Each structure stands twice: as C-alpha cells, then as structure tokens.
Amino acid sequence: MKSLLKKYKPVIKFILTFLLAYLVLSVAYKFYLDLSVGSKYYPDYLTQRVAKQSKELINVIGYTAEIINHPNEASIKLVINGKYVARVVEGCNSISVIILFVSFMLAFAGRAKPTAMYIFAGSVLIYAINLIRIVILSVGLYHYPWRREILHTVIFPLIIYGLVFILWMIWVNRYSKLKKQHE
C-alpha cells in the first residue's frame, strides 16, 4: 500500500488539491450569493454586471437591447428590439466555470507568479468569451427561437467548456516543457 501511495503521490496530490480548491472557492461563492439575497443586488452583482455588459455589446452591434429585473425570480430579462429573448441567471455569469478553471490551475500549479498570471489572464478570457457567448446566443434566439435547445444546451456550453479545456491543455503543455527544462 505504501509503495502505491508513493507511486501515485503526484496524482493523489493533484486530486486532493483540486477538490480542496474547488470546495473552498465554491463555498466562498455560495456565501457571496447568499449575501446578495435581499440586497439591492438581486440577482447578485456579478450577474447584473454580465447582463448590463451583454446589453451594451448587443447595442454596439446594431440592435436595441434592454434588461429588466424579473419580478418573480432571481434573473434578468434580456429584450432585443422589444422581443424578450433570454433570462440572465446566476449560472450565466461564468463564475462557476472560472472556479473550475482556477481549481485545476491551483492543482497543477507551477511557480507562483506565472501560475497567478495565467489564472488571471485565463479568468478574464473566460469572462470575456462568456459575454460574447451570451450576445451571440441572445441574437441567435432573437432570429431563430426554434433553435433554443441546441443553442443553449449544446453549442454554447461547448464554447465555454471547450475554452477552459484548451486553456488547461496550453498550461499543461507549457508547464511540462518548463519542468523538463528545469530538470
């Protein structure tokens, strides 16, 4: 048993670090969400920012968009040219995806500064691509509402999770090369 633990120590360390980071960040995020209930920022501030920034991007590309707090649930209605097309909910703000990304990065960390810089740059990229994803999804739903299911549940999750996977692969390959150079 001891030889197995020694042999698989890096794998066990990776898994435990990932799980611990994911747990700590998820609990912190849940605490943040719980604080927003009943505040002037309901749904939470980050979800409101994403809705507002999505609206502004939609307006930039030539549509007239507006956002309206949903009266009965923690969401924001996104309206394009007077047509209600989507709800922006907490899951749309990309924070859960960023938590997943950061947890992996912490579990597969290299030197502190490059890891921190990659986490920051990757998180900003995920957030930005998520905004673009919401804009494209909303405009797509405006023009092709009958494609809602495939757009929302297949294509657009593929974009955001595909990006995270690519960022991980870039890091793993870069980190592996750096490690070989230092050995």
> Residue 81 to residues 39, 58, 61, 144: CA-CA distances in angstroms?
30, 10, 12, 14
At residue 1, the pLDDT reads 67
Q: Per mean pLDDT, which range of 53-57, 161-165, 167-171, 176-180 is the poorest?
A: 176-180
| The total number of structural domains that make up the chain | 1
Q: What is the pLDDT of residue 148?
A: 83
Per-residue pLDDT reduced to its tens digit, 3-60: 777 788 888 888 999 999 999 999 999 998 887 766 666 688 898 999 999 999 999 9
Query: What domain range is 163 assigned to?
Result: 2-182
- What's the pLDDT at 153? 84
Q: Is the full-model pTM beyond 0.95?
A: no
**14 CB burial (10 A radius; 0-12, 13-18, 19+):** middle
